[in-house]
Amino acid sequence: MAREQIAPTKSNLLKVKERLNLANEGYDLLEQKREILVSELMRKVEQVKLLERELDKRAATAYPCLKRMLVVAGRERANKLAQNISYNYESNEKLVITAGMKLPGIETQIPSVELKYSHINSFAECDETVIEFFEFLKICAELAGVRTIAWRLAREVRRTQRRVNALEKMVIPAASETKKYIESVLEERERDAFFTSKLLKKKGVSKPKHEAVHNKRNNSGDRN
């Protein structure tokens, strides 16, 4: 991994160390967040699967019921019965707290079952069909709400994973390489300074010894 192009100084080393510590802490926190989100996402996926199975079961009873009603009442009469019938469904955005996060979800209010047609020209199959499809719609509304949260969680997992990857594969390696580079340069400088000081000390001590020997010889010559 390429290191950062900065001067190898002690102040920059402190900055890089601080940045590396923050990156490691951020990585740990994001990794924990990712694990929590994935766990919650899997729970929502299981919930979606259960609701889908329940929806399939309800569809397996609701649509045959509709077919029987059309056979008994006829398509024309069924259309006349349905012309003046309407129900109000309200779908609103609702904030749902999951995995410690507020995510926008969908809340659908299903009206209560009301048979809004005359009993004179209707059949028992009509009532049964209305009740079956009301239950079918309730499951659809619940499934839509859970799926919405699952989609939001999946998107948040992808976003968190991208941040984790960026820290793991780019930020932390680059800071680590920069830290090693600056430390090696500073250590090399310290070694050079140490050897230089040792050499200067050695030269400083040897010079007076040479002068002492020279003076001693001169003194012995004077005596002769």
Q: Domains in the chain, ordered, with CATH? A: 10-178 (1.10.287.3240)
Assess contact for 68 and 159: CB atoms under 8 A: no
pLDDT in tens, 28-50: 999 999 999 999 999 999 999 99
Q: Which residues contact 54 (CB under 8 A, 6 or more apart)?
A: 139
pLDDT-based confidence at residue 134 (cuts at 50, 70, 90): confident
pLDDT-based confidence at residue 121 (cuts at 50, 70, 90): low
Element (H, E) at 90: strand 90-98
According to the model, what pLDDT value does residue 218 have? Answer: 52
pLDDT in tens, 197-214: 878 777 765 545 445 444
pLDDT-based confidence at residue 118 (cuts at 50, 70, 90): low
Assess contact for 12 and 75: CB atoms under 8 A: no
State yes or no: pLDDT of 62 exceeds 70: yes
According to the model, what pLDDT value does residue 49 have? Answer: 95
State yes or no: pLDDT of 52 exceeds 50: yes
Which amino acid does the sequence have at 41? L
Q: Which of 64, 55, 153, 62 is nearest to 104 (CA)?
A: 153
Mean pLDDT throughout 146-162? 92
pLDDT in tens, 166-206: 999 999 999 999 999 999 989 888 888 878 887 877 776 55
Mean pLDDT throughout 5-19? 90
Sign of CA dihedral 50, 52, 53, 57: positive
In which residue are the tokens 């070694």 written? Answer: 191
- Token pair for residue 107? 């809340």
State yes or no: pLDDT of 162 exceeds 90: yes
Q: Which residues contact 172 (CB under 8 A, 6 or more apart)?
A: 20, 23, 24, 27
Please report the beta strands in 110-212, taking only residues with DSSP state E, as ranges in sequence order.
Answer: none
Mean pLDDT throughout 74-91? 76
Which amino acid does the sequence have at 50? L
Whole-model pTM: value is 0.70
Q: What is the CA radius of gyration of the chain?
A: 41
- Token pair for residue 151? 């989609």
According to the model, what pLDDT value does residue 224 have? Answer: 45
State yes or no: pLDDT of 117 exceeds 70: no
**CA–CA distance, 119 with 22 (Å, rounded to integer):** 72
Assess contact for 103 and 96: CB atoms under 8 A: yes
Highest mean pLDDT among 86-95, 127-136, 152-161, 188-197: 152-161
Q: Please give the angle made by the CA atoms of 32, 36 and 41, to the nearest 5 degrees.
A: 145
